[in-house]
Structure 1
Amino acid sequence: MTALADTPKTVLLAPVLHRYMQEQAEPPTTVQLDLIERTRALGGHAQMQIPHEQGVLLTLLARLIGARRILEVGTFTGYSTLALALGTTPDGRVITCDLSSEWTDIAKEAWAAAGVADRVDLRLGDAAETLRALPDEPVFDLVFIDADKPSYVDYWEQLVPRVRPGGLLLADNVLYAGEAAHSQATGNAASIRAFNQRVQADDRVEAVMLPVADGLTLARKRDSRDREQS
């Protein structure tokens, strides 16, 4: 671990470099720009929206694995849902879970404007209850967790068995503004730190933490070939 810590290659993102990186992503569509502005008008809550470059990554990952069955925990105003819906096939479905009809009403307008409303299945209510009502067998190609931080471990335990072998599990905010790195973390940061430790110890997946936005964990569910080689 010392050798790894002594040879960092991650570039610190000064504002000019951050803008340059954002410019390399596929530009947002008119619908996405409108959704960004409508979300920004919500004030402080707007920080819950993922940045555009992360949305581009979600779309790309969904396309790379040919995801047809996607589940998202945490909809907010629907930017990540839109990104995932754009990455799935025309006959694909994104089940997305949230509590707020106010925020998801904004989302529904954006999905309709982008022509992907028929790919989205919005389920309002307690996410843990929604997950418990899903089939127990592995039916999802990709899941994305971006909701209340104390429940991340619970969502993870419910979702890993429901992802097909070779499928992806993604979790947002795993750096929690850097606070998750501290052993004395409290509150949401402590919950994220516990979640990160759970993922790292979970032999059902192979995972990496990416310094995208506020930290994104990318995990692949192991299949029989992985078990044979281990």
Structure 2
Amino acid sequence: MTERVWHDVDDYINGLVIDRDDALDRVLASTVQAGLPEINVAPNQGKFLNLIARIHGARKILEIGTLAGYSTIWLARALPADGRLITLEADPHHADVASQNIAAAGLADRVEVRVGKALDTLPALESEGPFDLFFIDADKVNNPAYFRWAVDHSRPGSVIIVDNVVRGGLVLDAGSSDPSVIGTRELGALIAKESRVSATMVQTVGGKGYDGFALALVTG
């Protein structure tokens, strides 16, 4: 199997289960127009996040890493009318593009974009928790710190999803000098020894290449 096949199968799946959506199309177009990196989750992965949030009945969501707001919109659409999503974005330009996309999707009433490096903005959220669902998709170097914060500000039953934990298989390289690989391996070791969660990691292939995600359920 080749990456071309992975991409074509993604297109096939998206054609089956993803409806045409002007708001999400706007996000993808704005990503290109604003010169942002095209690293948003794939449409079928976005719907996966939406379904997890709906199945879980999440009312309060924290996202770390906003980019243009693609995954943000998928997650926010799963919230009830009085639900709330806070998303953290380090880059002011990205945050501005995302805020416009979120408003255009009619979700400004339940989504708040906070600008600044997550390690700097997280302390201001101390009183906002516990959160029902976390989606972590930001700089991989700090994933261990983000995961610790999520566990500390969760409740039994909270769900934590961390994206990009396989990195094309590079996670196998214990001697890697790549900071993102080092951070990802540290995250894996942390998850393995964290007694307050039950977790797994799943490999994925598709239009975004070969990667994977971690899924953790807070149990105590």
TM range (shorter): 0.7 to 0.9
Q: Could you tell me which residue of structure 2 aligns to residue 96 of structure 1?
A: 87
Farther-moved stretch of structure 1 (52-61 vs 174-183): 174-183
Kindly state the Cα deviation for residue 154 of structure 1 after the two structures are TM-superposed.
0.7
Kindly provide the CA deviation profile for residues 180-202 of structure 1, in whole angstroms up to 9, marking residues without a partner as x.
12223331112112211211221
Contact residue 40 and residue 70 of structure 2 kept, 8 A: yes
Find 2:31's aligned residue among 30, 39, 42.
39
**TM-score, normalised with respect to structure 1:** 0.84
Q: Could you tell me which residue of structure 2 aligns to residue 204 of structure 1?
A: 196
User: How many angstroms apart in 1 are the aligned matches of 2:202 and 2:16?
Assistant: 17
% same residue: 34
Q: 1:145 aligned to 2:142?
A: no
Kindly provide the CA deviation profile for residues 126-158 of structure 1, in whole angstroms up to 9, marking residues without a partner as x.
211221222268510001111111111011111
User: How many angstroms apart in 1 are the aligned matches of 2:183 and 2:61?
Assistant: 25
- Go from structure 1 to structure 2 and tell me whether the alpha carbon gap of 1:25 and 1:184 turns closer, same or farther (over 3 Å shift): farther
User: How many angstroms apart in 1 are the aligned matches of 2:17 and 2:101?
Assistant: 20
**TM-score, normalised with respect to structure 2:** 0.88
Q: Could you tell me which residue of structure 1 aligns to residue 16 of structure 2?
A: 24
Gaps of 5+ in 2: none
User: How many angstroms apart in 1 are the aligned matches of 2:82 and 2:57?
Assistant: 11
Farther-moved stretch of structure 1 (198-207 vs 211-220): 211-220
Find 2:213's aligned residue among 208, 211, 216.
216
Farther-moved stretch of structure 1 (201-210 vs 211-220): 211-220
- Go from structure 1 to structure 2 and tell me whether the alpha carbon gap of 1:14 and 1:135 turns closer, same or farther (over 3 Å shift): closer
Kindly state the Cα deviation for residue 36 of structure 1 after the two structures are TM-superposed.
0.8
Q: 1:189 aligned to 2:181?
A: yes
Kindly state the Cα deviation for residue 34 of structure 1 after the two structures are TM-superposed.
1.5
- Go from structure 1 to structure 2 and tell me whether the alpha carbon gap of 1:28 and 1:155 turns closer, same or farther (over 3 Å shift): farther
What is the number of equivalent residue pairs in this alignment? 213
User: How many angstroms apart in 1 are the aligned matches of 2:103 and 2:127?
Assistant: 31
Q: 1:76 aligned to 2:67?
A: yes
3-state SS of the aligned residue for 2:77?
Answer: helix
Kindly provide the CA deviation profile for residues 1-36 of structure 1, in whole angstroms up to 9, marking residues without a partner as x.
xxxxxxxxxx98533323223333322411101211
